[in-house]
């Protein structure tokens, strides 16, 4: 019971943050640098989707439906487009644990997929396109994905993209909430520069 109460409190706090971002002119500027949730309906739609598919997501995270390395390449490809600080940090660690080299991980975060396995290139291009179009890909691109990987694997790929997109937008919205709450004294962009200079990111 306590876990559910805590979850509801966290969701409520996040809702307040989303509303605050939505009503801010600065939020529009921040969105140019980092993709955020632009309305509560979008956030709730993603949350509901993840809850409904939690069992399949659990299998993906265990590496049962696609390899952990493939999963992390997809997640890094989406994160690179959405520019999420938190997910970049978390999934860099996960990628290295999944067997990706530091060089490949850095290239993925820069949107470069040249060093990835040939059989995954089509999916990674699709992931970038899917994210660029704000989860509204060209139907021909989606059909090409199905033709290349089959219906079942294509569905798994789409699910991975939906999960990491929610993490990206939630992370970016939270960063902006902290930025506004601190009256601009906590700037995630400046913090990123510091972490990179110190080789922490």
Task: Name the pLDDT band for 198 (thresholds 50, 70, 90).
Answer: very low
The pLDDT value given to residue 38: 77
Report the mean per-residue pLDDT for the chain. Answer: 82
pLDDT of residue 186: 60
Please report the DSSP string for the chain in residue order.
Answer: -HHHHHHHHHHHHHHHHHHHHHT-HHHHHHHHHS----SHHHHHHHHHHHHHTHHHHHHHHTTSSS-HHHHHHHHHHHHHHHT-HHHHHHHHHHHHHTT--HHHHHHHHTT--TTS-HHHHHHHHHHHHHHHTTS---HHHHHHHHHHH-HHHHHHHHHHHHHHHHHHHHHHHHHHHHHHHTTTS--HHHHHHHHHHTT--
Its pTM surpasses 0.75 = yes
Tell whether the model's pLDDT for residue 159 goes beyond 60: yes
Residue 149 token pair: 């990987």
Cα–Cα distance for residue pair 25/110, rounded to 1 Å: 28
pLDDT at 195 over 50: no
* pLDDT on residue 12: 59
pLDDT tens column, 44-73? 899 899 999 999 999 999 989 999 999 999
User: Would you state the pLDDT for residue 125?
Assistant: 97
Q: What is the mean pLDDT of residues 167-181?
A: 83
Structural domains in the chain? 2-197 (1.20.1290.10)
Please tell me which residue, 115 or 29, carries the higher pLDDT value: 115
């Amino acid at each position: 019971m306590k876990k559910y109460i805590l979850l509801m409190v966290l969701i409520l706090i996040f809702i307040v943050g989303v509303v605050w971002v939505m009503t801010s002119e600065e939020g529009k500027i921040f969105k140019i640098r980092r993709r955020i949730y632009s309305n509560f309906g979008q956030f709730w739609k993603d949350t509901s989707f993840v809850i409904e598919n939690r069992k399949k997501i659990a299998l993906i995270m265990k590496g049962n439906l696609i390899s952990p390395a493939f999963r992390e390449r997809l997640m890094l490809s989406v994160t690179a487009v959405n520019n999420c600080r938190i997910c970049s940090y978390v999934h860099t660690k996960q990628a290295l644990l999944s067997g990706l080299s530091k060089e490949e991980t850095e290239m993925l975060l820069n949107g470069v997929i040249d060093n990835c396995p040939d059989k995954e290139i089509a999916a990674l291009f699709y992931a970038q396109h899917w994210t660029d179009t704000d989860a509204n890909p060209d139907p021909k691109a989606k059909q090409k994905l199905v033709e290349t990987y089959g219906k079942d694997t294509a569905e798994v790929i789409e699910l991975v993209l939906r999960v990491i997109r929610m993490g990206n937008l939630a992370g970016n919205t939270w960063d902006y909430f902290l930025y506004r709450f601190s009256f601009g004294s906590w700037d995630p962009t400046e913090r990123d520069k510091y972490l990179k200079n110190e080789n922490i990111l």
